[in-house]
Amino acid sequence: MSSYIVTSSSSVTSLSVNKMATYCLTVARLQLALGQGARRFHVAAALNAKAKVAMSRFEPNSYINYDRLRSNIDIVRKRLNRPLTLSEKIVYGHLDDPSGQEIVRGRTYLRLRPDRVAMQDATAQMAMLQFISSGLPKVAVPSTIHCDHLIEAQSGGAQDLQRAKEVNHEVYNFLASSGAKYGVGFWKPGSGIIHQIILENYAYPGVMLIGTDSHTPNGGGLGCICIGVGGADAVDVMAGIPWELKCPNVIGVKLTGTLSGWTSPKDVILKVAGILTVKGGTGAIVEYHGPGVDSISCTGMATICNMGAEIGATTSVFPYNHRMRTYLEKTGRGEIAALANENQDLLVPDSGCHYDQIIEINLSELKPHINGPFTPDLAHPVSDIGSVAEKNGWPLDVKVGLIGSCTNSSYEDMGRAASLAKQALDKGLKCKAQFTVTPGSEQIRATIERDGYAKVLRDVGGIVLANACGPCIGQWDRRDVKKGEKNTIVTSFNRNFTARNDANPATHAFVTSPEIVTALAIAGTLKFNPETDFLTAPNGEKFKLVPPTGDELPARDFDPGQDTYQHPPTDGSSLKVDVNPQSNRLQLLEPFDKWSGKDLEDLQVLIKVKGKCTTDHISAAGPWLKFRGHLDNISNNLLIGAVNIENDAVNKIRNHLTGEFGGVPDVARHYKKHNVSWVVVGDENYGEGSSREHAALEPRHLGGRAIIVKSFARIHETNLKKQGLLPLTFSNPADYDKIRPDDKISIVGLKSFAPGKPLQAVIKHSDGSSETIELNHTFNETQIEWFQAGSALNRMKELQK
C-alpha cells in the first residue's frame, strides 16, 4: 500500500531556509527508507516567509508517483506489444483506463489524468469564472495562478510593476481570493513568467501538466509532458474529470554532434520551424533524442520545447539525462532527481521505438539562425539575413533588441548575453539600438543582480524590465516609432506575428537567440554577422566579438529573491469572491443556449477571412488584456485583425442587414440583436498561436454558430468545441473559393451528428443559386454532447444533476 508523510507542525517554522530544506529532504529519505511509497514524495510544512520561497513546491496533494506511471506503462506495453517512445510512456502512463482505452495514433481520443494545472493571469480570469460557474467547492488537482501577462513594459521593472499592481488591483484581488477559496496557489505579480516558475518549482521528469498558455510545453526541457490548453480544459481537470486529447503522432528529432560557438539551443527550434512550418507539428508530439541531446543544458532544452508551439506541436519533450538531474539539484529538488534516477527506464524512449517522422540535425554543423519577419517559420542563417533583407526591402537598421521572455530568460541565457555586452564595454562601445532585458522569474532577477550580469547589461545600454511577459505578448508602451512606420526589431521571443509586439503592423520582428539579439543591438544592423564581421571601437580599433560564454547554472545557489507566493488555506469554504456587477474588468458568466435540435439554417457569412488568421487576429492581446475577465467587453476586439477577402481591409465588413460597412464586432452585435446567427469562413491553420479561449468565447457570445476553414490549429479547434461552436473543415479545400462574402449557409445533418460522419453545407448565393458541399469534423461522442448542451460547462452541470 502506498502512503506518504504530511508535516504541518508549527515547530518547524523557526528553521532557516537551509535547515527547512534539509528537514523536508530528511523526511523524504525516511519515507524511502521505511518503504512508504518508495516512488512517492510528499511534504507539506507550515513555512515562514523565507522558507516559503524555497519550499513552495512542497504543497498538499502534490507528489511524484512513479508507481502509477510504471503500472500503466506496463499494462499498455503488453497490450500494444511494441517498444514505446518517451512521449507515449508519459502520455499513456496517465491514462484514466490503461486496460480499456483504445490507442491509435492520430485517430482515437485518449482520456487522461494530468497531475496538475497552471494558469497565467490573463487566461486564469475566465478559467476561474468558469470553475465558479461549475458549482464545485475545490479543485481536485494541484493548481496555480501566475501573474505575468498584465504588466506593461514602459520605463523599467520596479516602476512598471508598481503601476500594474495599481491598474490591475481588481483583477489581482479576484484571482488571489478565488484561488484561496478554491484551493489554487497564487503567484503574485513580479514573481515571473508562468513557464519559468513551473520549470523552477513544479516540473519533474514524467509529470503531465496542462497550462492555459500555448507555451506550456516549455516544461518538456525537464522531461515532462506539458500541454497548452484553453481555460475550459483546465476546468475539466480541476473538476476531476478525465481530460481528452486526440492520441498524438510522434515526430522524432535526432540530434547528433555538439553545440559550440555562436550556435545556441534556440537555433535548433528555429531550424526545425523552418523545416516543419507553422502547422507541420499539428497533432504530434516532437520528441528529441540522440547523442547530441547531452550537449544542451536543461534550460536550453526548455527553450526548444517552448517554441515548439510555433510549429503547431501538441508539445515537445527531451529524455531524462544528467543535465536535468543537475538542474533539479540546483533548484532544491535533489530528492526528485534521485527518484528520477531510480526510474530512468520510464523517462527515456525504448530502443527500437517507432516515430511517424524523423528529422536529423547535426549540431556541429548547425549555424546561428534568425526567423521572420511576420512569421516564426521563415528561417534564415544569420550570415544571410543582411542580403535577404536588402533584397526584400526590409529595414536594415535594428531599432530595438529585446532579450528574455519565457523562451530565453535563463541564467545561462543572461550570462551569455552579458559576456558579449562585457566585450563591447571593454572596447568602449554601447548598443546602437535600444536594448531591453526581461528576467524570467524573481529567482533569475535576484541571481543575475547578485552575480553582476544585470549591471553589465544595463551598462551596455539595457533596461531591465519587470519579471513578466511584457513586449513578447504586446505589453509594451513603445514610443520610439509611430504606428505605421516601417522598422525592424530583433527579439529572443517565440512569436512574431504582424503587430504582435508593439501593435504596429509595419514593425518587422525577427526571432533569434539572446546572443544574436545582443550582437545585433550592439552593431545596430541586420547586416552584421558576428561570426565574421568586425566592430569599430571609439578609438578606431577594429575587433571581433568572441563567441559567447556563460555558466549553465550559478556557481552559488540561486537567490530566491522576494517572497511572491500565496499558498491557499486548508479550508477556504468560508471565503467570499465578489465580482462587482458594474465592473468593466470582470463579469460573471451566463450559460450559452442549448442546441435547438434542428439544422442551422441560413447562417450569414460574417466575414470570409483571407490568409493567415491567428488568435492574435481573432482576439488581440496588448491593450485588450485588461478585459480578459469581462466577456462582453473583450468581445469588442472580435476578428479586428483579420483581413476581409471582400476588400482586403481589416475590421471593415459589410452589414448585410443595412448594406453599410462597419467593424467586425459591431456588425456581429447588430446581427445578434436582430436574431441573425452567423458563420466565419477561414483559410489554413486557422487559430494558430496563443491558447486564448477568448477567440472561441467571443464568436459564441456574439451569435456565431460555426467556423468553416481549410484547417485548424489544435488548441483553437478544441476551444471552439468547448464553447458549443462547430469547427468544420472543407472536405475539398477548393470549396473555400465557392463561398462569397454575402452568402448564407445552412449546416444540415445535425440530427444524425456522429463521429466520423461528415456534415453538409448548403451555400445560398445572393443571385438565388445554391450549391452543396461536404464538411468534415473531428467531434467524438463526448464533444457532440458539448455541442448539444450548448457548451462543455453546460454539459458538466447536466451531469451533476
Residues sharing a CB contact under 8 Å with residue 429, sequence separation 6 or more, in sequence order: 460, 522, 535, 537, 538
Whether 691 is catalytic: no
* C-alpha to C-alpha distance for 210 and 227, rounded to whole angstroms: 5
Q: Which of 143, 264, 409, 690 is catalytic?
A: 690
Show the cell assigned to 470: 511584457
523 SS3 class: helix
Cα torsion 214, 559, 554, 289: sign: negative
Cell 530595438 locates to 400
> Are 10 and 321 within 8 A, CB to CB?
no
Cell 554601447 locates to 430
* C-alpha to C-alpha distance for 497 and 685, rounded to whole angstroms: 14
* C-alpha to C-alpha distance for 708 and 678, rounded to whole angstroms: 11
Distances (CA, A) of 277 to 311, 312, 589: 6, 9, 37
Whether 148 is catalytic: yes
Establish how many alpha carbons lie within 13 A of residue 434's alpha carbon, considering only the half-sphere containing its beta carbon: 16
Q: What are phi and psi of 299, to 5 degrees?
A: -70, -30
Q: Which residues of 129-158 are buried (b: 16+ CB within 10 A; e: fewer)?
A: bbbbbbebebbbbbbbbbbbbbbbbbeebe
Q: Which of 39, 94, 149, 777 is catalytic?
A: 149
Q: Which of 115, 121, 148, 563 is catalytic?
A: 148
Q: Which runs of consecutive H residues, i.e. helices, occur in 290-333? A: 298-306, 322-330
Nearest to 503 by CA among 462, 473, 539: 473
Show the cell assigned to 122: 490573463
714 sits in which H/E element: helix 714-722
**C-beta neighbour count of 74 within 10 angstroms:** 12
* C-alpha to C-alpha distance for 157 and 487, rounded to whole angstroms: 25
Bridge partners (DSSP) listed for residue 226: 209
Whether 692 is catalytic: yes
> Are 620 and 641 within 8 A, CB to CB?
yes
Q: Which of 495, 567, 585, 670 is catalytic?
A: 495
* C-alpha to C-alpha distance for 114 and 688, rounded to whole angstroms: 24
* C-alpha to C-alpha distance for 752 and 747, rounded to whole angstroms: 12
* C-alpha to C-alpha distance for 222 and 64, rounded to whole angstroms: 14
517 sits in which H/E element: helix 514-523
Ramachandran class of 261: left when φ > 0, alpha when ψ lies in -120 to 50, beta otherwise: left
SS3 content of the chain, % helix, strand, coil (to 5): 35, 20, 45
Whether 557 is catalytic: no
Q: Which of 478, 630, 692, 705 is catalytic?
A: 692
Whether 264 is catalytic: no
Whether 602 is catalytic: no
Residues sharing a CB contact under 8 Å with residue 646, sequence separation 6 or more, in sequence order: 608, 653, 654, 741
Cell 503592423 locates to 505
Nearest to 529 by CA among 537, 539, 515, 519: 519
Ramachandran class of 282: left when φ > 0, alpha when ψ lies in -120 to 50, beta otherwise: beta
Show the cell assigned to 191: 514573481
- Amino acid present at 727: P
* C-alpha to C-alpha distance for 66 and 455, rounded to whole angstroms: 43
Cα torsion 723, 724, 730, 731: sign: positive
* C-alpha to C-alpha distance for 612 and 594, rounded to whole angstroms: 31
Q: Which of 115, 213, 377, 502 is catalytic?
A: 213
Secondary structure tally for the chain: helices H, strands E = 25, 32
State CA 770 to chain mean position distance: 42
Question: What positions carry a catalytic annotation?
Answer: 148-149, 213, 495, 690, 692
